[in-house]
């Protein structure tokens, strides 16, 4: 099993065993017993790890993580301690009872370990008297994975001077019983390395919304620089609704980004809207600042989103943006303006440049609907080699099938394929500017790209070919796919796996790689680890040469299906496999 330090489960049962708390629950800030943050000019005022080292208050401010601010990560909001450098600002978990209120689908913790990865079992108590246990793990603040951190800071303060070494903070979520009011959270008992908790909250369930479009952040790349420019991004809806909101993410960044005016419209052609764009707001303001590693949702606005249609989501970047989180393979042309806020423009004239990526924008939600199916995949799901601007990715075709029938609900279909992505290995290292946009591994992005998605009901996993092409053994891929299934089930999702497609003839698809692929597929078909299996291998393979894609479905590179092959995948899906009905 791959130890990632983020696997968390909960058993929300009424008779869960738990020791009696030492005292009644208190607000977290009244339990603070550790100083993690120091000012650069007084580094000895804090001692986070017992050796005198601490986080830099100036680095936190530069990242937009200022005291008292609420940081949005993975659809949860966590308020940073309202403290000054050198004051107690976190608690070392040791069985304390914390007063926490709310109803939702997960508890969210802002945490870090010192002295190593810190882990333990805590308890959540509900107002109806029932309890459940959860496993909480805080990766180490100096050596934990950058791929899963929420923010990395460039320095560590010590009494002897500042170290040019990244410090990490993590947002970790654990599932709770849906529909029950949380009354109290008991933190894990101390068992080894210190588990530090800076904030805790209940992540509200996303009732009344369905994800109609989404994309994963695949990397953090140099751009422009863009100075006072407006992006007009073209995205495709799966289902429709009468209200809309969008999600912008500053994933992997170390500095905040300022969003000015923003709008949404239905596309007529190119950068031209069918009607005047509808303005978007953020907590009542025309714009917002998104801290490093954080996200922002726009306020809901009345706007008719047609199903199966192209939308224009525009937002102004009033400052200088030299690097941005991007989804690299949009397979769709979007637009960049001349200087100025052109988010409200009803004419396309200011949009004189084009983009082939989706920067910052990660989601569009519509009101109502039954929820969403999340496609976790690689370049085949991403639509690489499909016709540009035609929305012929296999999830697009599947979405149209769902809209055309009434046997199962009209789920939103949200595409979280990343070209070059792997199950068990990061392509993008998870921090800093990089030309690699293959994303962090499916295991490392599972919380962000599946569990935090709006009203996710079912997850479809179609990954593994890049692992075996680059030398991973079947055992490692199987272990990763098993962990994905286990973690998703703990979140109440239906889990579906697709077999890995053949690719003989592509340079890295050797006979040895194909043997590993076949072994993974045998496990997928026979293990029973997933609720349903989509046999995409059987759909795409040449019956006369099963290690190759059928020529009629091959895009020409022997790895990616073309439009006909992607359509065949979508047409092969038993729709009832998505619901179990």
How high is the pLDDT of residue 491? Answer: 96
Token pair for 262: 């923003």
Is 277 within a domain? Answer: yes
Residue 6 has pLDDT above 90, yes or no: no
Is 4 within a domain? Answer: no
Is 212 within a domain? Answer: no
How high is the pLDDT of residue 23? Answer: 65
Token pair for 142: 């100096």
Is 215 within a domain? Answer: no
Name the E strands within 255-411: 257-259, 262-269, 272-273, 278-280, 288-290, 295-297, 301-305, 310-327, 334-337, 351-355, 358-359, 361-367, 372-377
376 - beta bridge partners? Answer: 416, 461
**Domain limits for position 141:** 10-203
Residue 16 has pLDDT above 50, yes or no: no
Q: How far apart are CA 119 and CA 145, in angstroms?
A: 15
- In the sheet with 372-377, reading across from the earlier edge strand, the strands are 412-417, 372-377, 456-462, 494-498, 532-534
Cα 178 to chain center, whole Å?
A: 21
How high is the pLDDT of residue 18? Answer: 38
Residue 560 has pLDDT above 50, yes or no: yes
Identify the band that residue 11 occupies on the pLDDT scale cut at 50, 70 and 90. Answer: very low
Tens digits of residue pLDDT in 121-153: 999 999 999 999 999 999 999 999 999 999 999
Calculate helix-pair angle for 563-572, 394-403, nearest 10 degrees: 40
558: how many CB neighbours lie within 10 A of its CB? Answer: 16
Residue 305 has pLDDT above 70, yes or no: yes
Convert 164-203 into a string of H (helix), E (strand) and C (coil): CCCEEEEEEEEECCCCCCEEEEECCCCCCCEEEEEEEEEE
Tens digits of residue pLDDT in 393-435: 999 999 999 999 999 999 999 999 999 999 999 999 999 999 9
Angle at 232 between CA 228 and CA 236, to 5 degrees: 155
Sign (positive or negative) of CA dihedral 60, 64, 65, 67: positive
Tens digits of residue pLDDT in 248-266: 999 999 999 999 999 999 9
564: how many CB neighbours lie within 10 A of its CB? Answer: 13
CB 121 within 8 A of CB 212: no
Angle at 162 between CA 160 and CA 163, to 5 degrees: 110
Residue 15 has pLDDT above 60, yes or no: no
CB 119 within 8 A of CB 135: yes
Into how many domains does the chain fold? 3
Q: How far apart are CA 465 and CA 541, in angstroms?
A: 14
Q: How far apart are CA 108 and CA 375, in angstroms?
A: 24
523 - beta bridge partners? Answer: none
Exposure of 222 by Cβ count < 10 A (0-12 exposed, 13-18 middle, 19+ buried)? exposed
Tens digits of residue pLDDT in 27-36: 999 999 999 9
Is 178 within a domain? Answer: yes
- Average pLDDT in the chain: 95
Residues 18 and 57 in one domain: yes
Residues 536 and 395 in one domain: yes
Residues 49 and 145 in one domain: yes
Is 137 within a domain? Answer: yes
How high is the pLDDT of residue 415? Answer: 98
Residues 276 and 388 in one domain: no
Residues 15 and 158 in one domain: yes
Boundary (domain end) residue, out of 362, 384, 419: 362
CB 100 within 8 A of CB 182: yes
CB 329 within 8 A of CB 415: no
Boundary (domain end) residue, out of 153, 175, 203: 203
DSSP conformation class of 44: G
Residue 489: in which H helix or E strand, if any? helix 474-490
Residues 142 and 183 in one domain: yes
- Residue ranges of alpha helices (H) inside 253-349 are none
Q: What mean pLDDT comes out for the span 51-78?
A: 98
DSSP conformation class of 14: T
Residues 439 and 357 in one domain: no
Can you give the pTM of this predicted structure?
A: 0.95
Residues 110 and 137 in one domain: yes
Sign (positive or negative) of CA dihedral 356, 361, 367, 371: positive
CB 197 within 8 A of CB 81: no
Identify the band that residue 17 occupies on the pLDDT scale cut at 50, 70 and 90. Answer: very low
Residue whose entry in the numeric block shows the structure tokens 């809309």: 244
Residues 392 and 336 in one domain: no
Identify the band that residue 181 occupies on the pLDDT scale cut at 50, 70 and 90. Answer: very high
CB 489 within 8 A of CB 580: no
Residue 309 has pLDDT above 80, yes or no: yes
Residues 196 and 268 in one domain: no
Identify the band that residue 370 occupies on the pLDDT scale cut at 50, 70 and 90. Answer: very high
Q: What mean pLDDT comes out for the span 322-329?
A: 98
Residue 19 has pLDDT above 50, yes or no: no
Is 540 within a domain? Answer: yes
Question: What phi and psi, each to the nearest 5 degrees, are found at residue 105?
Answer: -115, -10
Identify the band that residue 21 occupies on the pLDDT scale cut at 50, 70 and 90. Answer: very low
Boundary (domain end) residue, out of 362, 381, 397: 362
Is 211 within a domain? Answer: no
Residues 296 and 438 in one domain: no
Residues 347 and 435 in one domain: no
How high is the pLDDT of residue 5? Answer: 34
CB 343 within 8 A of CB 259: no
Contacts of 404 (CB under 8 A, 6+ apart): none
Percent of the chain with pLDDT over 70: 96
Percent of the chain with pLDDT over 90: 95
Neighbour-count burial for 132-166, b at 16+ CB within 10 Å, e otherwise: bbbbbbbbbbbebbbbbbbbbbebbbbeeeeeeeb
How high is the pLDDT of residue 178? Answer: 93
């Amino acid at each position: 099993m791959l130890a990632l330090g983020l696997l968390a489960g909960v058993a929300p049962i009424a008779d869960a065993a738990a020791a009696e708390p030492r005292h009644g629950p208190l607000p977290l800030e009244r339990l603070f017993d550790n100083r993690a943050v120091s000012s650069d000019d007084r580094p000895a005022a804090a001692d986070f790890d017992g050796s005198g080292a601490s986080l830099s208050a100036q680095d936190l401010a530069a990242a937009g993580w200022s005291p008292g601010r609420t940081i949005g990560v993975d659809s949860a909001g966590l308020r940073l301690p309202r403290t000054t450098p050198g004051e107690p600002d976190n608690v070392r978990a040791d069985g304390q009872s914390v007063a926490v209120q709310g109803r939702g689908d997960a508890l969210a913790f802002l945490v870090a370990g010192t002295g190593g990865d810190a882990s333990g079992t805590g308890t959540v108590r509900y107002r109806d008297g029932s309890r459940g246990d959860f496993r909480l793990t805080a990766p180490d603040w100096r050596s934990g994975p950058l791929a899963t951190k929420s923010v990395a800071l460039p320095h560590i303060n010590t009494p002897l001077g500042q170290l040019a070494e990244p410090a990490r903070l993590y947002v970790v979520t654990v599932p709770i019983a849906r529909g029950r009011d949380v009354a109290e959270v008991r933190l894990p008992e101390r068992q080894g390395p210190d588990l530090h908790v800076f904030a805790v909250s209940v992540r509200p369930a996303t009732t009344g919304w369905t994800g109609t479009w989404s994309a994963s952040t695949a990397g953090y790349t140099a751009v422009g620089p863009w100075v006072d420019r407006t992006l007009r991004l073209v995205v495709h809806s799966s289902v429709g609704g009468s209200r809309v909101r969008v999600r912008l993410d500053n994933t992997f960044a170390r500095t905040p980004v300022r969003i000015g005016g923003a709008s949404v419209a239905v596309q007529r052609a190119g950068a031209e809207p069918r009607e005047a764009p509808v303005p978007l707001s953020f907590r009542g303001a025309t714009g917002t600042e998104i801290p490093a590693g954080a996200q922002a949702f726009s306020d809901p606005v009345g706007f008719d989103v047609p199903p199966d249609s192209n939308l224009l989501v525009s937002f102004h970047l009033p400052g200088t943006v030299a690097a941005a989180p991007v989804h690299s393979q949009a397979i769709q042309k979007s637009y960049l303006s001349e200087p100025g806020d052109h988010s409200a423009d009803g004419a396309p004239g200011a949009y004189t440049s084009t983009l082939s990526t989706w920067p910052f924008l990660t989601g569009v939600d519509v009101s109502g609907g039954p929820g969403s199916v999340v496609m976790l995949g690689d370049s085949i799901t991403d639509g690489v080699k499909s016709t540009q601007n035609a929305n012929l990715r296999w999830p697009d075709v599947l979405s149209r099938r769902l809209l055309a029938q009434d046997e199962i609900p009209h789920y939103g279909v949200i595409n979280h394929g990343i070209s070059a992505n792997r199950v068990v290995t990061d392509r993008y290292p998870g921090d800093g500017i990089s030309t690699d946009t293959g994303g962090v591994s499916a295991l490392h992005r599972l919380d962000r790209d599946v569990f935090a998605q709006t009203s996710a009901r079912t997850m479809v996993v179609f990954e593994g070919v890049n692992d075996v092409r680059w030398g991973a053994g079947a055992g490692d891929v199987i272990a990763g796919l098993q962990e994905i299934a286990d973690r998703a089930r703990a979140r109440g999702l239906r889990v579906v796996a697709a077999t890995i497609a053949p690719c003989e003839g592509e340079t890295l698809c050797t006979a040895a790689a194909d043997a590993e692929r076949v072994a993974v597929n045998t496990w997928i078909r026979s293990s029973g680890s997933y609720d349903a299996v989509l046999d995409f291998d059987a759909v795409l393979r040449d019956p006369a040469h099963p290690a190759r894609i059928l020529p009629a479905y091959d895009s020409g590179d022997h790895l990616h299906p073309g439009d006909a092959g992607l359509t065949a995948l979508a047409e092969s899906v038993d729709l009832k496999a998505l619901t179990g009905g």
